[in-house]
C-alpha cells in the first residue's frame, strides 16, 4: 500500500483553539486517511474511509498525465505571506513531489493585480518574473486539485482547500 496523493491545510502560526488544520492521504488501495491536527502537529482526530479502485485509477491517471507538476517549485510563494499553508504531495511511479503554497485560493486575485499593475516591470525585475511563475504554477496546481476533488465528490466526499467532509455514506 502506497500513497498516491496527499493534501494538508494548516495556518502559519496556529489558532487559539485546538484546530490548526487537516491532512488527507489517498492510498493506492482506495483507503483515505483523514487527520485533524493542532498547532503542535498532534493528531486530534483520525478517521479512515474508502473509495473505489476505479476512482483511485482516475486520480493516478490524472497525476500521470500532468507530469509537469513534478518540475514545479517546491515553495510556491505568491507574495501574500503568512495566512494559510497548503501542502500537496503527488506520487507517480517512483517519483514524489511535495509543494507548499500559501493562501493559494487568493491566486486569482493576485494574478489580476499582477497583470494590471506589475506587468510593465515584468521584463526588468527577476523577482516579479519569479512571482508570476509561481502564481501560474499555483493556478495549474489548483486545477489538478479540483479535478481530484471532483473524483472524490463522486465517491461521496467533499475536499476543498479548507475542508474535508463526507456527504453520504458509501
Q: For 95-133, how does the pLDDT look when each residue is reduced to its tens digit (9 = 90+)?
A: 999 999 887 765 556 556 655 565 565 556 667 677 777
According to DSSP, the β-strands at 3-11 and 95-102 are: unpaired
Its domain, for residue 155, covers 3-166
Q: In a 3-state reduction of DSSP, which class is residue 123?
A: coil
Interatomic CA distance for residues 135 and 140, integer angstroms: 9
Interatomic CA distance for residues 115 and 77, integer angstroms: 17
Interatomic CA distance for residues 43 and 20, integer angstroms: 10
Tell me, what CATH number does 70's domain have?
3.30.1560
When divided into structural domains, the chain yields a total of: 1
pTM for the whole structure: 0.85
Least confident of 11-25, 54-68, 100-114: 100-114
Q: What is the pLDDT of residue 170?
A: 47
Pull the grid cell for residue 63: 497525476
pLDDT at 52 over 80: yes
Structure confidence by residue, pLDDT tens digits, 33-47: 999 987 777 888 899
Task: Return the higher-pLDDT residue of 70 and 104.
Answer: 70
Interatomic CA distance for residues 153 and 7, integer angstroms: 16
Structure confidence by residue, pLDDT tens digits, 124-168: 666 767 777 787 888 899 999 999 999 999 999 999 988 999 886
Amino acid at each position: 500500500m502506497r500513497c498516491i496523493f496527499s493534501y494538508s491545510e494548516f495556518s502559519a502560526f496556529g489558532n487559539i483553539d485546538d484546530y490548526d488544520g487537516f491532512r488527507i492521504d489517498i492510498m493506492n488501495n482506495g483507503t483515505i486517511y483523514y487527520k485533524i491536527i493542532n498547532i503542535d502537529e498532534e493528531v486530534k482526530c483520525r478517521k479512515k474511509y474508502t473509495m473505489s479502485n476505479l476512482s483511485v485509477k482516475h486520480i493516478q491517471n490524472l497525476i500521470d498525465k500532468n507530469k509537469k507538476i513534478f518540475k514545479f517549485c517546491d515553495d510556491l510563494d505568491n507574495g501574500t505571506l503568512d495566512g494559510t499553508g497548503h501542502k500537496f504531495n503527488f506520487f507517480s511511479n517512483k517519483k514524489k513531489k511535495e509543494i507548499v503554497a500559501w493562501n493559494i485560493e487568493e491566486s486569482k486575485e493576485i494574478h489580476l493585480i499582477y497583470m494590471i499593475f506589475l506587468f510593465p516591470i515584468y521584463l526588468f525585475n527577476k523577482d516579479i518574473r519569479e512571482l508570476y511563475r509561481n502564481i501560474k504554477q499555483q493556478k495549474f496546481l489548483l486545477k489538478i486539485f479540483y479535478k481530484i476533488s471532483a473524483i472524490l465528490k463522486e465517491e461521496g466526499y467533499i475536499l476543498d482547500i479548507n475542508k474535508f467532509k463526507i456527504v453520504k455514506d458509501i
